[in-house]
Structure 1
Amino acid sequence: MSAAGSTSLAELAPAGRRATGIGWTLAATSFGFVVVQLDVTIVNVAMPQIGKDLGAGVTGLQWIVDAYTLAFAALLLTAGSFADRFGSRRVFSVGLVLFGLASLGCAVAPSIGVLIAARAAQGVGAALILPTSLSLLSHACAGDAVARTRAIGWWSAIGGVVSAAGPVLGGALTTGLGWRSIFFVNLPICALGLWAVRRYVAETVRAAAGRLDVGGQLLAIVALFFLTHAVIEGGVLGWTDWTVLAGFAVAALAIAAFVRNESRVPAPMIPLGIFRSRAFSAAIVLGVLMNITFYGSIFVLSLYFQHSKGYTPTQTGLALLPFTVIMLANLASGRLARRFSQRTPVIAGFLLSALAFALLHGVDAATPYLRILPSLLLLAIGAGIGTPALTSLVIGSVASSLSATASAIFGAARQVGSAIGVALFGALLVGLPAQVATGAVFAFDLSAFLRLAGALIAVLCL
């Protein structure tokens, strides 16, 4: 625990509230991060049973996933703006309550329509939780960059454990208690998080209150919704489908209108001056590149193992098990930042990931797994040491009163990056097993190039 972080938190805590340092803030915010991460992965394994019980087809099942993703991505910027205006602790608490109530709605949903609506409500809760949890962590660290990187490393590691455990837990609950149990499990976690944050966590510094930027909020929601939706549908319908092109067009118009609005209103949702920081702008670009390549490659590897090498789903899960090393790498990020500098883990992470992708060049259906294993480990280590340091740099590059907005911008950029990676790389994996392997190699080569470009950006701009 950072002494500086503990002292500062004690000074900033409201009267009558005991401040116990970064540790309690990390624990409280992690409860929120756990439910957000858990519901990204735990639902997938329950899909067949949900479809059978509620009479849902493939389209309905897809919307169970997409409703959560779209609401989450579309409202991140709004949530970050609200947190800086009204306080991250307050918005985080509202997010936990909403997520818990939405989870209850999912658990008792009598039809696929109700379940989809409740999943969208979960996405809204997740959007309120994610940027505020990072803002509260940053506030507890009181400007100590190394302590912030270390805390975010633990936060990321907890999320990594939950992501890895999600499919296993979901399968066990679905088999033993039925699919509704995967939503009931969120209720005690949300309750514990709400108790901990109300009991131990201090409120953040609020931005100066001005007139609420309603136009900016609505334009941001429209832009992010249509951009994310167009990317998701582009991977399914094709990039030239008229609905996909229309979605991109609406998103582009909304973005242009958003920038115009923010430059004119007296109290903008996002002060555009935040992007004058070279480090902040570079970190946002790096976050997009990171998620395009990392989540896109996981999707590619899953299909490569099953369609090209003929692995079963269980064998594919075991083949991807080395990615759990990312948890240890998350914790190492803070040590590297403390010993060298905050940008060192970011540069090293991008270079290691580039090497991992380069080593995958030329793989085919006959490539032995032991040749692929070093790349999986290097990729996990690279992502693990780079992500916490980059997240810390984003938050540290802006005033403390804008920390939630900064983390929301970063989160939204990464969400869009993930969608682009899966959609873009997924479109390359079509045809016979040999063609799938060829598409996978192209995706890995492109990822290596993007990671090298990211390392150069980090060297020049961070």
Structure 2
Amino acid sequence: MSLEAPTVRGRDATNKWVALGVLSVAQLMVILDSTIVNIALPTAQHDLGFSTDNRQWVVTGYALAFGSLLLLGGRLSDLFGRKRLFLIGVVGFALASALGGAAGTFAVLLVSRVAQGSFGALLAPAALSLLSVTFADNAHERGRAFGIFGAVSGAGGAMGLLLGGVLTQNVSWRWCLYVNVIIAAVALAGAVLGLRSGDRPERVRLDVAGAVTVVLGLVGIVFGLGNAESQGWTDTWTVGAIVGGALLMIVFVVIETRAEHPLLPLGVVLDRTRGTAYLAVGISGIGSFAIFLFLTFYLQDTLEFTPVESGLAFLPMVGMLVVRAVVSGAALLPRTGPRPLVPIGCLLGAVGMGLLTGISTTSGYVGGVLPGLLVLGFGFGLIFGPAQNAATSGVSADETGVASAMVNTAQQIGGSIGTAVFSSLAASTITNYLAEHPGSTPQLATIAGYHTVFWIAAAVLVAGAILAAALFRSGPLPIDPDAEPVVAI
């Protein structure tokens, strides 16, 4: 018997996991940037001398470009090759980060953030689609890989807070951007030296009408939600942008039903399993933003933690999330499918949010914050990997890019909704609390605002559990045993 075939299979199996490492590093870079710059903003504002009104655009500019271009980026990876778009995204993200780190004016910093978001929109769906087609032939390997990738996606925001605090406090806010150059260099070296793409790109025309419509529609929605956070829900720009964006998305759906080669084949999202997975990702995005944003406020403003201490405070949740995501992906998902895991994860997330409503001006970290974080980490670990896996399962190889883009789009829109709605709810609660309790202090009113946010986030996660339990199909996800990985190293 020849020994060549087993040797090749063993080498290919090793190559898969090296590919996973490369893709996870790139994913971490994109996720870090959703929070790492937030910590650096006050220092950057002082250094560059821009106004508080302009400060929000450093965050919003990234979100607008990233959220609006994801579907286009995902489809481009299907049309022109996943590895090609991955490499363009990594290099572009690194160059944009270097520009931002060297920025001497607000305008340059803003341009760099928009460029980061644009290249991130190429990189993120390409990475997830590469992962999907690399682990297409074995349910246990696929579950383990998506568990690791999901852990990176879920933990990246908290790691960004920690890294941003360390760099800003001990080096410079500019290194919150420069650090991406180092991360990108690692990802690029791994990709160039090894990622071998078996892409067979479609030779079809790009759906230009669909691309223009969906980009403008998503820009409107993301901009409107961002504007609501600062200007309120009744502001003309808020209402106009959200309504206009929603109407354009309706037009986009009509275009896609008639296009010969649609940007988003509607079968990708109308499939029961994948559609439910996108919903779960969006709902978990809403909940996770409540944690990172408002719990950071509580740690720094009430408990007087430094930025570094605030980042360290999230590490127990990160650890629990990583362990749970890997275990659920490797041991549970291949046997049960996502139907029991995602609802349980959402319910645990709701319990964790409920525990956080016990925080007060006198409660400490260990007694008031840590129990909720541990439960949240356990719950989110059951959501991210299984949902990402389900969102790209059963889709043809030439549509994995756009299916992957929908995962990131759902998470981005969910985060934008969470930030806007929860900020508005917190502000309203604070105002009402002070009016109803004349002798109270602003600090007590602020705590009441946090409680409201956490209770509403818990309700959202409960709703997510009900929907996931009702809509997911029972049983393991479909796996094609004859599929051949198109990525090797």
Q: Choose the corresponding residue for 1:349, options 328, 336, 345.
A: 345
**Out of 380, 385, 409, which is 1:383 matched to?**
380
Q: Quick one: which amino acid aligns to residue 375 of structure 2?
A: L
Match in the other structure for 2:43:
49
After TM superposition, give the deviation of residue 453 of structure 1 in Å: 2.1
Measured in 1, the distance between the counterparts of 2:75 and 2:408 equals 13
Residues 457 and 163 (structure 1), Cα distance of their counterparts in 2 relative to 1, 3 Å cut: closer
Change (3 A) 1:159 1:455: closer
Distance of 1:391 and 1:372 partners within structure 2: 28
Greater mean alpha carbon deviation, residues 105-114 or residues 158-167: 158-167
Cα drift, residue 289 of structure 1: 1.2
Q: Which residue of 1 aligns with 2:106?
A: 112
- 1:413-439 deviation digits (Å, cap 9, x = unpaired): 110101111211122223333333333
Q: Is the 8 A contact 1:33 1:133 kept in 2?
A: yes
Check 1:291–1:454 CA distance in 2 against 1; reply closer, same or farther (3 A cut).
same
Q: 1:9·1:202 contact (CA, 8 Å) conserved in 2? A: no
Residue pairs, 1:142-161, within 5 angstroms: 142-159=136-153
1:364 shift after superposition: 4.3
Q: 1:353 is aligned with what amino acid? A: G
Deviations along 1:95-142, one digit per CA (max 9) or x if unpaired, are 011112212222332321112111111111111111111111111112
Q: 2:379 corresponds to which letter in structure 1?
A: G
> When the two structures are superposed, what TM-score results if normalisation uses the length of structure 1?
0.89
The TM-score normalised by the length of structure 2 is 0.84
Post-superposition shift, 1:356? 2.1
CA distance in 1, matches of 2:16, 2:47: 44
- Report the counterpart of residue 127 of structure 1 in structure 2: 121
Using the TM superposition, name which of 291-300 and 246-255 deviates more. 291-300
1:13-28 maps to which residues of 2 (within 5 A)? Answer: 20-28=14-22
**Corresponding letter in the other structure for 2:327:** A
Question: Which of 458, 465, 470 is the aligned partner of 1:455?
Answer: 465
Q: 1:328 aligns with which of 323, 329, 334?
A: 323
* 1:429 alignment partner, SS class: helix
From 390, 403, 406, the counterpart of 1:406? 403
The residue aligned with 1:293 is 287
2:265 maps to 1:271: yes
Using the alignment, how far apart are the partners of 1:343 and 1:146 within structure 2? 17
Letter in 1 for 2:81: G
Counterpart in the other structure of 1:236: 230
Q: Which one-letter code corresponds to 2:337 in the other structure?
A: S
Give the Å deviation of 1:52: 2.9
- Partner in structure 2 of residue 136 of structure 1: 130
Are residues 447 and 171 of structure 1, via their aligned partners in 2, closer, same or farther at CA, if it must alter by over 3 Å? closer
Alignment of 1:416-427 (within 5 A): 416-427=413-424
Relative to structure 1, the CA distance from residue 171 to residue 393 in structure 2 (aligned partners, 3 Å threshold; closer, same or farther) is same
Q: Which residue of 2 aligns with 1:179?
A: 173
Correspondence for 2:444 among 430, 434, 452:
434
What secondary structure sits across from 1:211 in the alignment?
coil
Unaligned runs of 5+ in 2: 431-441, 473-489
- State the match for 2:476 in structure 1: none
CA contact (8 A) 1:8 1:142 kept: no
Change (3 A) 1:240 1:7: farther
Deviation at 1:371, TM superposition (A): 4.6
Shifted more, 29-38 versus 131-140: the winner is 29-38
Deviations 1:203-249 (A, max 9, x none): 25446332211111111111111101111111211111111001112
| Conserved? CA contact 1:100–1:186, under 8 Å | yes
Higher relative contact order (CA 8 A, sep 6+): 2
Aligned to 2:436: none
CA distance in 2, matches of 1:393, 1:358: 28
Instruction: Give the SS at the match of 2:233.
Output: coil
Q: Which runs of 5+ in 1 are unaligned?
A: 11-18
Give the direction of change, closer, same or farther, for the CA distance of 1:367–1:55 in structure 2 (3 Å limit): closer
1:79, distance to aligned residue in structure 2 (A):
0.5
> Whole-Å Cα distance in 1 between the matches of residues 21 and 312 of structure 2?
30
State the shift of 1:379 in Å: 0.9
Measured after TM superposition, the shift of residue 187 of structure 1 is 2.3
**How far apart are residue 263 of structure 1 and its match?**
1.3
CA–CA separation in structure 1 for the residues paired with 2:396 and 2:454 = 38
In the TM superposition, what is the alpha-carbon distance from 1:327 to its structure 2 partner? 2.1
For 2:91, the equivalent position in structure 1 comes to: 97
Residue number in structure 2 paired with 1:221: 215
Point out the more displaced range, 330-339 or 198-207: 198-207
Aligned partners of 1:145 and 1:396 also within 8 Å: no
| Range 78-87 or range 157-166, more displaced | 157-166
Compared CA separation, residues 245 and 163, structure 1 to 2 (3 A): closer
Instruction: Give CA-to-partner distance per residue, 1:234-279, whole Å, 9 cap, x none.
Output: 1211111111001112202211221121111211100112233111
Structure 2 vs 1, CA of residues 55 and 373 (structure 1 numbering), >3 Å: closer, same or farther?
closer
- Paired with 1:159 and 1:85, the residues of 2 have a C-alpha distance of 25
Inter-partner Cα distance in structure 2 for 1:8 and 1:152: 20
- Inter-partner Cα distance in structure 2 for 1:33 and 1:110: 28
The verdict on how the C-alpha distance between 1:41 and 1:263 changes in structure 2, with shifts beyond 3 A counting, is same
Contact 1:88 1:204 in 2 (8 A): no
Question: Which 10-residue stretch deviates more, 328-337 or 278-287?
Answer: 328-337
What root-mean-square deviation, in Å, do the aligned CA atoms of Structure 1 and Structure 2 show? 2.6
Supply the distance in 2 between the matched residues of 1:351 and 1:162 (Cα, whole angstroms). 22
Could you tell me which of 447, 450, 456 is aligned with 1:446? Answer: 456
